[in-house]
Amino acid sequence: MGRVTTRVPRTRYDVVRGDAVARPDTVAVEEPLEVRVDGATVTTTMRTPGDDFDLTLGHLLTEGMIASAADVAAMMHCTDVGPDGSPTFNVVEAALSPGSALLRPARERTQAMTSACGVCGSASVDAVRTAGRFDVASDPATFDPAVVAALPEALRTHQAGFERTGGMHAAGIAAADGALLAVREDVGRHNAVDKVVGAVSRERELPLAGTVLAVSARASFEIVQKAAVAGIPAVVAVGAPTSLAVELATELGITLVAFTRAPRFSVYARADRLA
């Protein structure tokens, strides 16, 4: 559903040669997605259309609003229409299974979520520390450093959207041996994580023990938090970590790897899991 990329006009300037060339360019599509649960809106986020059901399911899981993919009985795109009267597919309605209820209300926000923001606008710092149900610190998984170093390149081979636009993040969940279970792309790094958690949760129950969350972006607080809520014991990032990400990973016992470019990477928490 929806377009992943689109063509726009562009003029490319070269100040050395002193010329300007007009030609179209391919860019990532960014559109709003409203998520409703049993008729009530729980969030609206800017995302790249596609894998909307994975995004919806993953968001509900990583925000701690449901405990299992089985808590959602069905999902459907609502028949919303744009200014031209054509369907936009920008609203997803999720119906909870009989006997299921949201474990917590939608996080109170003071502003709309953008594609760059997963926890922006939360009413307080405490509100972003979603309580995880899993003891990831006790996960006995170990990881071969060579496998860890190779994850970004493995992720890169699945980034078709980035290849075309240079403007999409990717997130993948891999087994301990490096085999990718799923990869998803989005203009928002937090959306990419929600999409891939939602995709894998359809096949196996949380916690996603013994797995690695690999992201093409920096390792931020929200990425580590989402891994913790999903029960993932390791996060591998291509970019830099933030101070809060390191703090949270240390507190929860998550192995945090950043600046990952084979054959090198840096470990900021739980280095003992690297065999």
DSSP-derived secondary structure for the chain: ---SEEEE--EEEETTTTEEEE--EEEE--EEEEEEETTEEEEEEEE-SS-HHHHHHHHHHHTTS-S-GGGEEEEEE---B-TTSSB---EEEEEEPTT---SSPPPPBSS---TT-SSTTBSSTGGG-PPPSS-GGG----B-HHHHHHHHHHHHTT-HHHHHHS--EEEEEE-TTS-EEEEEEESSHHHHHHHHHHHHHTTSPSP-TT-EEEESS-B-HHHHHHHHHHT--EEEESSPBPHHHHHHHHHHT-EEEEEEETTEEEEEE-GGGB-
Confirm if 220 and 242 have CB atoms less than 8 A apart. yes
259 in a labelled binding site = yes
Average pLDDT estimate for 185-206 = 97
What is the predicted pLDDT for the residue at 107? 66
What is the predicted pLDDT for the residue at 110? 40
What is the predicted pLDDT for the residue at 237? 98
Topology (CATH) of 31-128? Ubiquitin-like (UB roll) (3.10.20)
262 in a labelled binding site = yes
- Position 129 confidence tier, pLDDT thresholds 50, 70, 90: low
Q: What is the separation of C-alpha 97 from the centre of its chain, rounded to a whole number of angstroms?
A: 24
What is the predicted pLDDT for the residue at 122? 47
Between CA 230 and CA 13 the distance in angstroms is 46
pLDDT tens-digit series, residues 139-153: 999 999 999 999 999
5 in a labelled binding site = no
Between CA 26 and CA 162 the distance in angstroms is 10
Nearest to residue 92, comparing CAs of 48, 38, 135? 38
53 in a labelled binding site = no
221 in a labelled binding site = no
What is the predicted pLDDT for the residue at 245? 96
Indicate the domain borders of the chain.
Answer: 31-128, 136-273
Q: Which CATH architecture has domain 136-273?
A: 3-Layer(aba) Sandwich (3.40)
Between CA 107 and CA 39 the distance in angstroms is 17
Average pLDDT estimate for 216-221 = 95
pLDDT tens-digit series, residues 20-42: 999 999 999 999 999 999 999 99
28, 35, 91, 117: which is the annotated catalytic residue?
A: 117
Average pLDDT estimate for 162-179 = 96
Question: β-pairing, 40-47 with 72-77?
Answer: unpaired
Q: Residue 190: phi, psi to the nearest 5?
A: -70, -35
Say whether pLDDT at 82 is over 80: no
Average pLDDT estimate for 161-176 = 96
Instruction: Classify the C-alpha dihedral 37-39-45-46 as positive or negative.
Output: positive
Say whether pLDDT at 123 is over 50: no
- Position 79 confidence tier, pLDDT thresholds 50, 70, 90: confident
pLDDT tens-digit series, residues 255-273: 999 999 999 999 999 999 9
Nearest to residue 89, comparing CAs of 104, 71, 76, 73? 76
- Percentage of residues of the chain with pLDDT beyond 70: 89
Q: What is the separation of C-alpha 250 from the centre of its chain, rounded to a whole number of angstroms?
A: 21
Q: Is 117 a catalytic residue?
A: yes
Same fold, 31-128 and 136-273: no
Q: What is the pTM of this model?
A: 0.90
Say whether pLDDT at 121 is over 90: no
264 in a labelled binding site = yes
- Mean pLDDT, the chain, integer: 91
Task: Tell me how far apart the terminal alpha carbons of the chain are, to the nearest angstrom.
Answer: 42
| Lowest mean pLDDT segment, chosen from 96-100, 116-120, 224-228, 246-250 | 116-120
Average pLDDT estimate for 83-105 = 88
What is the predicted pLDDT for the residue at 114? 54
Average pLDDT estimate for 221-247 = 97
